Structure 1
Amino acid sequence: MKKNKVIFLILAIVFLLGMVLIGLDISRRTTFPGSKGNLKERIAPSDSIPVK
């Protein structure tokens, strides 16, 4: 392979690995919305609760 092609492949692999690591980090810090319990705010919208 030519030198430029090798450099491009190395940089592409490093970039893709970085993107995968960032994606894994973000996915670990967030929770899936379906795994949360049913909170009062989620069951009844705030505008349907009577205000006294």
Structure 2
Amino acid sequence: MNKNKLIFLVLAVIFLLAMFWIGYDISTRTTFPGSKGNLKERIAPSDSLKIDDKEK
């Protein structure tokens, strides 16, 4: 293998490892939206509706 191919493969492996690490990091910090169920914040009316009611 010549020097250019070796440098390319090393950089490609480093890049792929960095992408997998970033993807794993993001996936551990977030949750699937469907797994939360119905939160009170979703069921209760929002603040914008309360402001509109007060104006009327």
Structure 1: gaps of 5 or more residues: none
Structure 2: gaps of 5 or more residues: none
Higher share of residues assigned helix: 2
The ranges of structure 1 where at least 4 consecutive aligned residues each deviate by more than 2 angstroms after the TM superposition are: 40-47
Aligned-residue Cα RMSD (Å) equals 2.3
2:29 maps to: 29
2:4 maps to: 4
TM-score computed with the length of structure 2 as normaliser: 0.71
- Deviation for aligned residue 1:4: 0.5
Query: How many pairs were matched up?
Result: 51
Computing the radius of gyration from Cα coordinates, the structure with the larger value is 2
